[in-house]
C-alpha cells in the first residue's frame, strides 16, 4: 500500500503522516509513506486544501485531519 500525505509540512500534515503510519502498522499491512510537498504535484491530485491523504493513487481525504477511527476505516477499505 502506498500512502501519500499531501501538504507543505504544516503541523496538521505531520499529524496525519504520524497517524497514518500508526494505523497502517496496527492493521498489519505492508505500506510505504511518501510526503508530497510540491504544490504543483499536490494540485495534480485535485486537492486544494491540505493535508490530503492518497492511498494507491486514490484521494481519500483532503482539507482535514480525520479521527484515528475514521482513518482506520479508510485504510481498511483501501486494503480490500
Positions marked active-site: 10, 13
Q: Give CA–CA dist 78/35, Å, rounded.
A: 19
For residue 43, what are the contacts with CB-CB under 8 A and spacing of at least 6? none
Cα 69 to Cα 36: distance, rounded to the nearest angstrom: 24
Amino acid at each position: 500500500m502506498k500512502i501519500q500525505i499531501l501538504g507543505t509540512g504544516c503541523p496538521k500534515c505531520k499529524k496525519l503522516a504520524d497517524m497514518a503510519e500508526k494505523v497502517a502498522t496496527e492493521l498489519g499491512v505492508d505500506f510505504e509513506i511518501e510526503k508530497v510537498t510540491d504544490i504543483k504535484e499536490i494540485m495534480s491530485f485535485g486537492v486544494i486544501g491540505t493535508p490530503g491523504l492518497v492511498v494507491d493513487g486514490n484521494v481519500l481525504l483532503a482539507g482535514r485531519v480525520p479521527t484515528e477511527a475514521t482513518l482506520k476505516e479508510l485504510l481498511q477499505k483501501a486494503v480490500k
